[in-house]
Structure 1
Amino acid sequence: MTTLFSKITLGLAGALLVASPAMAQAPEWTKQVTRMFASKQTYPSTAQMRGEEGTAKVKVFIGADGSVEKAELVAGTGSASLDKEALSVPSKVGRVPAPPAGATTLTVPMTWKLA
């Protein structure tokens, strides 16, 4: 079996918190949730073969109980398969720890880069 690439970099380049001021005091929660999303992010094989790279920004709506209620693409990558993957990540996670200040949203950048 031949490897088509030597290294793939996947990443959530730090979540941008878009919430109440109380949430600004919960950086550990934000880091934990960001890591949960990163653990479910994959590089679609079609995007790999086409050499597609980019960063998508996904706004994730999180209920007071930690349920992931919905996700919206705020900024696309220019690749349909990467954008589709970006929107699927929150549903793969499904539930996160309850936000410290109740229901909130996170805007999460997701990056795909072939190295």
Structure 2
Amino acid sequence: MVVDRLPCTENITVDIEVANTGKVDGGHVVMVYSKSPSEVIGAPAKQLVAFQRMKVPARKTAVVEFEFNVCKAFSIVEKTACTVLPAGRSLVLVGDNDCGVSFPVQINLIY
């Protein structure tokens, strides 16, 4: 569905807990990506939708909250240059390495 034709009022909030298991205070950039449903041909492998730098004291945890609009976070630009929101099971990916986690987001478009 072309994004310009949608009300785009749905938001998702994600709370992410980051643990510093080391002996010194540290900083980390938490990156959140979206990945289109696997059925969508030509979609990017993933796209960055939010990031935030945080400082975590030694042997402590901290929580960072992200809120993003569904249309902005999960839309893609197709080859006709239209911005579309693909229906189906998208993924939210947190992190960009072996410590990353992901969870599905089901997008159903009601006409």
- Give the TM-score, by structure 1 length: 0.31
Q: Tell me which structure has the larger Cα radius of gyration.
A: 2
Higher RCO by CA contacts (8 Å cutoff, separation 6 or greater): 1
Which has a greater percent of strand? 2
- Give the TM-score, by structure 2 length: 0.31
Which has a greater percent of helix? 1
